[in-house]
Each structure stands twice: as structure tokens, then as C-alpha cells.
Amino acid sequence: MWLFGRKGASGFSWSSTAEEVTHGIDATGLTAIVTGASSGIGAETTRVLALRGVHVVMGVRNMDAGKKVKDKIVQEIPSAKVEAMELDLSSMTSTVNVSFVSSNNAGIMATPFMLSKDNIELQFATNHLGHFLLTYLLLDTMKKTARESGREGRIVNVSSEAHRFTYSEGICFDKLNDQSSYQSWRAYGQSKLANILHANELTKHLKDDGADITANSLHPGAINTNLFRYNNVIDGICRTVGKFVLKNPPQGAATTCYLALHPQVKGVSGEYFSDSNLAKPTSQAKDATLAQKLWDFSMNLIKT
């Protein structure tokens, strides 16, 4: 379909793959942690970063699945530097035990109402708060590495166009755990809005600190992955017609890999991307007051 192949200002399009957007880039010497790396776009992101010479740490909940992905990558790319590390982003205890960030990708979508081990609404806990804590724990190390190596650090939050369909107030700070007002798809949109706001507010803090680190967010595209596992109807439809209208993992991982490695985005921070091109999020996603409030709210939660 010609529309999907139409290139934007970056020279890439909807149909570009992760290998295509990183073609010719030598990333030897860089280290990245990729969450949700045991399947889908996380696994493909891991593979392509490793292909370009990055030492990749896979953050996975299921170590058996992670090891299978790792072994497959090493079999294909014998020189690949890949290791798997157990990481459950829904649990702050699990996240605290991590010692390394590049791609905040792991996520769940439109789940029934559930609370995390820390008694926080599960989608917000997994999609936003776990990544917020992981990034917070790694920032000092990233700053030191960027300063000593002279190479820019990059933080990439995988958001979604679903941020457009959050609750009317954007983030329900006072009703986060209110089951009676819970709507699974709006809660998902809320967590994806939080990903964008996090990257934007983080950009402000990094600039204030004079750190050579960027933070951006992105929409990977509608992708036929296991994110739809909590909705049997949608999952069935996607498996039937998805190959005609949805991205495959190589295409879905493209924007993440573009933001992680491409020289075109050097120094670019606090922006939202789609199809490896700049995109325009909602006005709520650009609300600096809301971003600051979310930052303070999240900091209080991780320090509780």
C-alpha cells in the first residue's frame, strides 16, 4: 500500500523496519537495557541493537522466555553481546534490584481491574511507574557514563496513540485505584499519556542538570503482538486480519531503534515520534503543569 510507504522528513515511513532505520550505524561501545524484551517489538529491538554492536541487557519477567530469545539472537549474530535479567516492572521491589536504560518498552494493555504487588492500579504500575523507577535508579550512572565517554545517553519511552483516549482529566491522581470508575481502555490511555509526560518532564530535569542525555517518547504503531491477550475478541480479529493492516515486529521496533541510535535525533529531547518521524501528541501530553504534577506524584509513590 503506497500510503504506508510514503516517507516523512526523516526519510523513513510506516513500513520502515528497525534494520532499515539503523542501517550503517556502528553502535559498538554502547550499552542498553530493553524492557519487555522476551517477545514482540522488545525482542526485535534487542536483536537489532545487538546487530549494530550494542551490549543489550534484556529486562524480562520470564527468564525462560528471555533465554530463548537471547539464544536465538546469539545463534543468528555470534558476536552479539546480550544478557537476560529478571525484571517485573509491576513490582517496585523487583525494579529496585536492577543496576543498569535505553528502551522502556514493556507493557500491558486494557487489563481487567487489578492491583500490583504494591497496591497500585496494574496498568499504571507496569506501563508507567515501573519505568519511572527504573529510569530514576539509572540516571546517576547514565550521567556519569555520558560525561566520561563523551557520548550522548538516550532514554526512549514507548507510548501509544492510545494516550488520546485517556480519562477526561488526563491522569486520575485521586482515583487511581478506584475500581468503580475504572475503564480498562481509558486506564491504558492514562498510562500511555504518563509515558509522554514522563519523558517531557525528565527532559526539563536533565537540561537543568546539564546532562548530555535525551528523553523522548513514541508511538510504535498498531502491531500484531500479544498485547491484546486480555481481549479475546480484539485478539481474534488481529490474528485474522492483522497481517494486512498492522505492523509486524520489525516495523514496530523501528521508531524505538531510530530514537536509540540514529544521528538525526542527536540533541533532540522532549519530543513525540511515530513512524520514525516527529509527530504531534495531544495538548494534555504537552501540559507542563500536568507533567510536573505526575513527576511529583510518581516520586512520592516510589519513595513510599
| Catalytic annotation, residues | 182
Calpha distance 107→227 (Å, rounded) = 8
- Rounded to 10 deg, the angle between the 63-76 and 40-51 helix axes is 40
Calpha distance 163→167 (Å, rounded) = 9
Written as nine digits, the cell of 36 is 519487555
Tell me how far apart the 2 most distant CA atoms of the chain are, in Å: 52
CA 127 → CA 111, 123, 195, distances in Å? 12, 6, 8
The distance from CA 232 to its chain's CA centroid, rounded to whole angstroms, is 24
Closest to 260 measured CA to CA, from 11, 14, 53: 53
The distance from CA 158 to its chain's CA centroid, rounded to whole angstroms, is 3
Number of H helices, E strands in the chain: 11, 8
